[in-house]
Structure 1
Amino acid sequence: MEVICLEDKAFYTLLDEVIERVKEQNPTARLDKWISGTEAMQLLRITSKTTLSVLRNNGKIRFSQPQKKMILYDRQSIEDYLEKNARETF
């Protein structure tokens, strides 16, 4: 067996290239428009369900409630919210 050693930077560059090739070969693999609360919290990098509900209730992010206890969040509105609140460096 042969072992190949890579520096961190080279490894992550290679990993990015592999991911791009997989995406090119499978163009139908796209992200879901509507995501669960858990996925929304991961995108926002928050751990509080209360914070998520405040964002929802204040109209900061879009949501859909197809059933009484099922709330789905619009992925694009979360990305737009994060981008809108991004600050430029000095």
Structure 2
Amino acid sequence: MPGLLRGVARTAVVAGTATAVSNRVTRRQQGRWAAQQGYQEPPAPPAYQAEPPATPAATDMTSKIEQLKQLGELKEQGVLTEAEFEEQKRTILRT
């Protein structure tokens, strides 16, 4: 059993060392390539300032107002009768 543990420990050390060396080589190569290409660190993004989200009620009301305006225009153009206009208006205001 001690021989098995020693073998597992040796394998873990070798694998860990190989990983560390591989990572170091990769970082060094990336640094060299970046230097050859004149790479510069991108500027830090500006601080994010989110606008407060529009409330669903406000968005919904804006949509309803737009629909009512369109209905009014259709009525003025003679496309809708007074009864049709009133029916559609009730439908929009109910939802």
Give TM-score scaled by structure 1 length.
Answer: 0.29
Q: Which has the larger radius of gyration?
A: 2
Which structure shows the higher helix fraction? Answer: 2
Q: Which has the higher contact order (CA 8 A, sep 6+)?
A: 1
